[in-house]
Amino acid sequence: MLEFIAVSKQFPDGQVALDDINLKIEGSDFVFITGPSGAGKSTLLRLITKELVSTSGQVLFNEDDIAKIPENKLHILRRRIGTVFQDFKLLLSRTVFENVALSLEVLKKSDSEIEKEVSEALEKVGILEKADYFPAQLSGGEVQRTAIARAIVSKPEVLLADEPTGDLDPKTAEQVVELLEKINKEGTTILMATHNAAIVNKFKKRVVHLKKGKIEKDQKEGKYEPD
């Protein structure tokens, strides 16, 4: 499914974000990527969507080298990978339904297909009744559920979530991860970057812990003890 082979990433200012990462993610895995701020968690996820390209090594998706995918084919890759990133904000001028429908409009799906698929995604995340609301009318948890619906509406093979519980209270954070767990059980591979130790230790998933750009541990049912 996903494989990092001797992957390093150095930015132009000399900062080494990732250092010789070797990692294999199988289909239907649920993996917490943990570590302190600056450990390389977000960089690792963004290599998968080719928002960033590694300085050395290979990132493979179903055995295809992501760095070698041409720009005019990137949309095909990104259709197969859903993202819930902190800086991918909802459009305030669009309703919940319209925000989720965006990626399907880009694919030029028919109105009837969009209606069906968006409604299914909103029902799956538990906010179908909020379809006509605007983001400003939603709670923090509802905003994050909308973002997840937007990420899964095109039925991706992989879902990348970068600190999806960062601004949420503990109960709402648990509900969001329970939703990701449900999506995972339906066959979607989940990679979630987080520094929320309570969440990691409660859900007992595979934990890949990064420190200063290196993998410090990789445990099947790991715990996270912040540095």
On whether the CB atoms of residues 141 and 172 are closer than 8 A, the answer is yes
Residue 84 clears pLDDT 90, i.e. is over it: yes
**Distance from C-alpha of 5 to C-alpha of 58, rounded to nearest angstrom:** 5
**Distance from C-alpha of 49 to C-alpha of 36, rounded to nearest angstrom:** 22
Task: State the average pLDDT for the chain.
Answer: 95
Residue 227 clears pLDDT 80, i.e. is over it: no
- In eight-state DSSP terms, residue 176 is H
Can you give the pLDDT at residue 191?
A: 99
Can you give the pLDDT at residue 85?
A: 86
User: Where residue 71 falls among pLDDT bands split at 50, 70, 90?
Assistant: very high
Which run of H or E residues covers position 217? strand 214-219
Domains and CATH numbers, the chain: 26-49+74-219 (3.40.50.300)
Tokens encoding 198: 């309570």
Whole-number percent of the chain with pLDDT over 90: 92
Query: What's the pLDDT tens digit per position in 16-63?
Result: 999 999 999 999 999 999 999 999 999 999 999 999 999 999 999 999
Section 123-132 average pLDDT:
97
Tokens encoding 72: 């005019």
Full DSSP string of 38-61: TSSHHHHHHHHTTSS--SEEEEEE
Query: What's the pLDDT tens digit per position in 138-163?
Result: 999 999 999 999 999 999 999 999 99
- In eight-state DSSP terms, residue 90 is P
**Distance from C-alpha of 55 to C-alpha of 11, rounded to nearest angstrom:** 8
Q: What does pTM read for this prediction?
A: 0.95
User: Where residue 167 falls among pLDDT bands split at 50, 70, 90?
Assistant: confident
**Distance from C-alpha of 57 to C-alpha of 20, rounded to nearest angstrom:** 8
CA distances 223 to 197, 198, 201, 202, 227, Å, are 8, 9, 5, 9, 12
Residue 103 clears pLDDT 80, i.e. is over it: yes
Full DSSP string of 131-162: TT--GGGS-HHHHHHHHHHHHHTT--SEEEEE
Listed range (1-10, 54-63, 78-87, 169-178) with the worst mean pLDDT? 78-87
Tokens encoding 20: 């010789």
**Distance from C-alpha of 123 to C-alpha of 130, rounded to nearest angstrom:** 10
Residue 133 clears pLDDT 80, i.e. is over it: yes
Can you give the pLDDT at residue 89?
A: 85
Residue 120 clears pLDDT 80, i.e. is over it: yes
